Amino acid sequence: MVWTLFSIGGFVLFWALLSWLIGSDELPGPGAVWRAGVVQIASDDYFFHLGMTLARVGAAFLLSMSIGSAIGVFLGMHGGADRAFGGWLTLFLNLPALVTIILCYVWFGLTETAALIAVSVNKIPNVATTLREGGRALNRDLAEMAAVYQFGRIARLRHVVLPQLAPFFAVAARNGLALVWKIVLVVELLGRPNGVGFQLHVYFQLFDVATILAYALGFVVVVQIIELLFLEPWERHAARWRR
């Protein structure tokens, strides 16, 4: 924690120095970005746009985690299905995000649904690939134990299968959050009337680099808080039994 603060402090210093050396509006220093942020916050719009983006990130994240996990675990547990559809996964994994976004807007119109589908389609193959490994790694010994002792369906899922998948969920969630919010910004920039991506587009046209950085940093802070408050405690809880 202390080292993280030192490290970030060092970065801010480096940034301030660089901006002072360049001495141009194209790279405003930390102070200028802070002031731009304060102006945005005072105008009320800041939290509205941040909130809209956060809502889209949350929805797309839940959608892609649940669908991607289901697909991945299924493929991991059924070799035949994996041979039949594994190629599809590779295909979607390598489909550029921009192409899916454009296609979704063309096919479904400039709607919220289209935006969420576009983000999810980008993320689902990632989650599925990670969870497929989890499905493959499921322990046969424990499955047999549960069979001999007549565990019910729910008990098997809760006590035998899900704890084995937890580390894979954690990896998918961590990579997922970062990827999803980056794609959400592009989706907003291309076809939504609000959100951080939309604001970035507006301030890009005004060449207001300080405000652009203020939005970007604001979101980095939010994602970091989610990580510290939810992901890390959950990972610690899930790993408490390890030696």
Partner 1 sequence: MSGLRVRIARKAFGGSAILGKIEFDLAPGERAALIGPSGVGKSTLLNALAGLDPDFTGLIERPEGRIGMVFQNPRLLPWRTLAENIALVPGAGGMARARALLAEVGLEAAADLHPERVSLGMQRRAALARALATEPTMLLMDEPLVSLDPAAAAAMRALLISALERTGASALIATHDRRDALALADRVLELGGGPARLISDRASPLRRDERMDMAAIERAHATEFANE
Which positions touch partner 1 (CB under 8 A)?
141-142, 144-145, 147-152, 155, 159-160, 163, 238, 240-243
> Which lies closer to partner 1 via its Cβ, residue 152 or residue 193?
152
- Give me the least distance between CB of 155 and partner 1, in Å please: 7
Asked if 123 and 60 touch (Cβ cutoff 8 Å), the reply is: yes
What is the Cα Rg of the chain in Å?
22
Please state the closest distance from residue 152 (CB atom) to partner 1, in A.
7
- C-alpha neighbours within 13 Å on the C-beta side of residue 7: 4
Minimum gap (Å) between residue 238 Cβ and partner 1: 8
The residue (of 236 and 243) whose beta carbon lies closer to partner 1 is 243
For the bound state, the minimum distance from the C-beta of residue 230 to partner 1, rounded and expressed in Å, comes to: 20
How crowded is residue 242: how many other Cβ atoms within 10 Å of its Cβ? Answer: 6
- Cα separation, 193 vs 16, in Å, equals 33
DSSP assignment letter at 228: I
87-123: b (≥16 Cβ within 10 Å) or e: eebeebeeeebeebbeebbeeeeeeeebbbbbbbbbb
Cβ proximity to partner 1, 70 vs 160, nearer residue? 160
CB of 236 to partner 1, least distance (A): 13
Burial of 239 (0-12, 13-18, 19+ CB in 10 A): exposed
CB atoms within 10 A of CB 4: 9
What count of other Cβ atoms lies within 10 Å of the Cβ of residue 125?
A: 21
Distance of closest approach, residue 242 Cβ to partner 1, in angstroms: 7
- The nearest distance, CB 163 to partner 1, in angstroms, is 4
Beta strands in the chain (DSSP E): none
For partner 1, which is the closer residue by CB, 45 or 144? 144
Q: Which is nearer to partner 1, 1 or 236 (CB)?
A: 236
Query: CB neighbours (10 Å) of residue 197?
Result: 25
Given the complex with partner 1, which of 151 and 234 has the nearer CB atom?
151
Q: Which is nearer to partner 1, 74 or 151 (CB)?
A: 151
